[in-house]
Each structure stands twice: as structure tokens, then as C-alpha cells.
Amino acid sequence: MNFTDLRKFVAPETIFGVGAVDLAGQYAGKFGISKPLVVTDPGVLAAGWATRVMESLAAFDIEGVIFSEITPNPKAAEVMAGVAAYEAGECDGLVAVGGGSPMDCAKGIGIVVSNGGHILDYEGVDKIIIPMPPLICIPTTAGTSADVSQFAIINDTDRKTKIAIISKTIIPDVALIDPQTLMTKSPYLIACTGMDALAHAIEAFVSSAHSPMTDLHALEAIRLVHGNLLESFLHPEDMELKAKTMLGSMQAGLAFSNASLGAVHALAHSLGGYKDLPHGECNALLLPHVVDYNFSAAPDRFRTIAETMGLDSRGMSTSEIRAWLIESMTSLRSSLGIKDRLASKGIRASDIPVLSDKAVLDPCLVTNPKSANRRDIQVIYEEAT
């Protein structure tokens, strides 16, 4: 693109660093919230972070109402249960504490509370008319970046697929990003969410909607995540490494929220909704195969990605750079313990046409650098199986 091309860039207020989690009460007070619905999940609740947030709220005489009936890949029914909890509790704001599932669910609750109807009514781009109640997001993973994005992904269990809701109205009012929340995460969750962040950054950089504003964040995210994820995985006690991966995740979120994504996420949404698999794991299993497919459409951009990952590409041919990049991502994934193929996740040849039919309709495919039809998508799934 040219520097003069029109592009928009939106982002929430962001507080980053150790201690951010304890600012929930202060910010709820600033937004005039007196009784927030605190949206979380059983794992985050058990780890103590939701309690820590409730204590922060109480310090400002704000009474939080816990809603934790959320599973991975948040379901439409869970969103609607949250709406009922919000209305029953006479709440006036939302605080999301957790990974992508609680944050996306909180966004869904806010949409329906303000606009009515059912959450599945809002699938697509810019379908939300009335702004949500105030939303504070406190991420506890370094991956999804729902805390800084205009995306919400909800699982439509009837259709067995994930829907994307994209609107600037669902960008949180503030993101409180605290790396100490990563200290309670399992190694495998760190691996999967980290690969999700890397996929966000790579897809945003090669997206057909990229811009100089998003490129800056995408490349910094690649540098931070690729450069620190494995070390953070191997040294779970190191807070500095945690902070670098969480900052990388935030940068990736700012990039993809504004440049959108591509085929990795289109295929992962279909796969995750169909088999209820972890989103980051789906991305990790698909990423090298999609990069291989997309490479010819943006070789210079992929060269820049490889160089940002540490490759000295002088004297290397395009095909050598392509091979190095795919091997680098595959090796990182394997070193993080993500070694399976789709077949080991229960995907059979008979599933691939169904998955492809869903993926080809995903809005993330619109900004993929290379057009992909149903058969192209089938081949990528086949290669990953």
C-alpha cells in the first residue's frame, strides 16, 4: 500500500506492567460503575485472579457480581446466561478477567445488554448500533489479545462453528495487562497462546489491509514473541520473559485488530467450533501450512518476517527463505510440545469438506494475501492432517 492510502486505527486505553491487575477498582470508579458483572472462568477463579479483582473493586466500595459459567471457546448459550446474570444482578458495567473466552463472552454480554436480541444476531462486521456498558479487560494469557481488539469470537454450537463479531463498539474501555497473571498458567497453555499471538502478528503483517501503523506493531510482536516464547516456556519463573511475551501479545493485538487476519484464523475458527479444540492449538497446527500456501503472494513481506525472526537472508533465494521460515515455525511449535497433527485431534478425511465449507465463509479470509477457494482450503486441511 501507499503511505497516503486511507486506513483507520483504533485501540483502548492500556495500562501495562506488574500491578495493573490491582487497578480494576480505580478504573471502575472512573467509569462510574457501581456494580460490575465480573466475567471469568473456573480456572482463573481457582488461580485467585478474580478474587484479587473483587478485592480491588471492594477497596473502592464497588460490589462485583461473579459470573464464571464459561468454557473454552465460549458458547452462545453462555453469553445469554451472562446476560441473564447481568440483568438479575442489576449490573452497570463489565470486568473481564481471564483469557479469550471470558473476554469474548463479556463482549457478547455487553452487546446483548445494550442492543437486545440474541448474540448470534450480531455475526459479521459493524452490526452493533448501541454502545456497550463500560468494559474493563484484564487478560491472564499472552495470546488472544481480546483486551485490545475489536473482535469477539463466539461458538455457535448448533452450526458447530465459531462466528466472528467485529466492531469498534466492542473495544474495551481499558486493558489492564499484568504479566504476573501468567505465573499460574500451565506450560501447554503458555505454548498455545504464544503461538496464537505469533499467528496474529504474521497474519496482520501480510494482510491485504495492513498499513504502516499496523506493520510497526506486527513486526515488534514477531520480534518479542518469537524471540522470547520458548525461553518463557522453559523458565516459567522468569517475570521479565513473561512481560516480553505479554507485551508481544498486546502488540499483535493492536496489529490484527486494525489489519484483520487471514486463512490461519479462518481455518482455526472452523476447526475449533467443529471439534471444540483450543484456539491457540488450532492456529499452531495450521500456521506453517498456511504460510506455505500464502508465501508466493507476499514474498517480500515473508522475507521481512524471517529477518525479524533472526534470519540473515543475504544471498538466499526466495525458496530457501520460504523453507527456513516454515522450518522455524515448525521447530518452535515442536519445542513447545505442540507435536500433534489434526488426525490426532479426531479430524478425519470425511470432516474436511465440512470444515472447508465453514472456513470459506469466515470474514478473516477476506484479508488473506492470497485468495483461497473451497478446494484450496481443503488441501491445507489435508496437509495438516
**Once rounded to an integer, what is the mean pLDDT over residues 232-260?**
97
Residue 379 pLDDT greater than 90, yes or no: yes
* pLDDT in the model for residue 176: 98
Residue 2 pLDDT greater than 80, yes or no: no
* pLDDT in the model for residue 340: 86
Q: Which residues pair with 154 in a beta bridge?
A: 163
Report the DSSP pairing between strands 151-156 and 161-166. antiparallel
Residue 4 pLDDT greater than 80, yes or no: yes
Give dist(CA 267, CA 283) in Å, integer. Answer: 8
DSSP structure string for 55-115 = HHHHTTT---EEE----SS-BHHHHHHHHHHHHHTT--EEEEEESHHHHHHHHHHHHHHHH
* pLDDT in the model for residue 8: 86
* pLDDT in the model for residue 7: 86
pLDDT in tens, 13-72: 999 999 999 999 999 999 999 999 999 999 999 999 999 999 999 999 999 999 999 999
Give dist(CA 216, CA 205) in Å, integer. Answer: 9
Domains and CATH numbers, the chain: 13-181 (3.40.50.1970), 187-384 (1.20.1090.10)
φ and ψ of 127, to 5 deg: -100, -5
* pLDDT in the model for residue 320: 98
* pLDDT in the model for residue 6: 86
**Once rounded to an integer, what is the mean pLDDT over residues 328-340?**
95
CA 232 to chain centre: 19
